[in-house]
Amino acid sequence: MVCRLRRSLYGLKQAPRAWFERFASVVTAVGFSPSAHDPALFVHTSPRGRTLLLLYVDDMIITGDDSEYIAFVKACLRENFLMTDLGPLRYFLGIEVFSTSDGFFIFQEKYIQDLLARAALGDERTIETPMELNVHLRASDGDPLPDPTRYRHLVGSLVYLAVTRPDISYPVHILSQFVYAPTSVHYSHLLRVLRYLRGTSTRRLFFPRSSSFQLQAYSDATWASDPADRRSLSAYCVFLGGSLIAWKTKKQTAVSRSSAEAELRAMALLTAEVTWL
């Protein structure tokens, strides 16, 4: 006896691929084309403007200049899928969006509150900075945690929070290097980041409507900042007009033999990002 599946079943290995192929066939039939930079981003261009559709599993954002075409796309999606229109964008994958006449704010205040609730801190203290100055953590600092699960869970949550909080990019980069064997010292620095977030949970990124399209980029490096392998740290941020659109903190792949060499490696990393943008 053979059972032929006429549609994909949820949970099968091929189900995500089958779902994406089905969705892509529907949106390409109405005029969208997949972006060369991201296969889950679909673009439609016409004399009336440009329309963008971003897909993440079964959640999507539709935006653009052509309101009539957006209404047409929604009608086509309703004909093919069981779809719910949630209206103007306010919340997407833990990221909150607030629109004003001057621009857009993106933030993760609710995500931070949920993270603090899961962390179950025993006090209500707040701290002004996410990490102390000139701290160089080692893998041998402190006593190993009996159960590193909580540390790994919290650091993983902070990695996603750094999507809208560039101010914690550096401490999250440092703390994520010890997830394989965290110690009590590493956990204390993790709690410091959480207390910093408690006092700054309302901070937001602002994207003005009347922003120029001029790229401005800044890079920096710390020479031999890791006491274990003597590798330096690269960091950069990129602005499009007055909007911060890209940032990164990353350990360099090779040992720099001078501070000038470390700075040049950071500039090379930034140049590659600016060229791509």
By residue count, the chain amounts to 277
Looking at residue 69, its pLDDT comes to 93
Confidence bin at 231 (pLDDT 50/70/90): very high
Tens-digit pLDDT profile for residues 38-75 = 999 999 999 999 999 999 988 999 999 899 999 999 99
Over range 103-124, report the average pLDDT.
92
Confidence bin at 135 (pLDDT 50/70/90): confident
The contacts of residue 123 (CB under 8 Å, 6+ apart) are none
Over range 180-206, report the average pLDDT.
95
Looking at residue 156, its pLDDT comes to 95
Confidence bin at 159 (pLDDT 50/70/90): very high
Looking at residue 16, its pLDDT comes to 87
> Would the pLDDT of 114 be above 90?
yes
Confidence bin at 227 (pLDDT 50/70/90): confident
Between CA 101 and CA 208 the distance in angstroms is 9
DSSP secondary structure letters along the chain: -----SSPPTTSTTHHHHHHHHHHHHHHHTT-EE-SS-TTEEEEEETTEEEEEEEETTEEEEEES-HHHHHHHHHHHHHHS------S--EETTEEEEE-SSEEEEE-HHHHHHHHHHHT-SS----SSSS-TT----TTSSPBPS-THHHHHHHHHHHHHTTT-GGGHHHHHHHGGGTTS-BHHHHHHHHHHHHHHHHTTT--EEEESS----EEEEEEEETT--TTT---EEEEEEEETTEEEEEEEEE-SS--SSHHHHHHHHHHHHHHHHHH-
Looking at residue 234, its pLDDT comes to 95
Tens-digit pLDDT profile for residues 4-31 = 877 777 778 888 888 899 999 999 999 9
Looking at residue 253, its pLDDT comes to 92
**How does 53-72 read in b/e, with b if 16+ C-beta sit within 10 Å?**
bbbeeeebebebebeebbee
> Would the pLDDT of 190 be above 90?
yes
Looking at residue 133, its pLDDT comes to 87
Looking at residue 273, its pLDDT comes to 95
Average pLDDT value for the chain: 92
Looking at residue 191, its pLDDT comes to 95
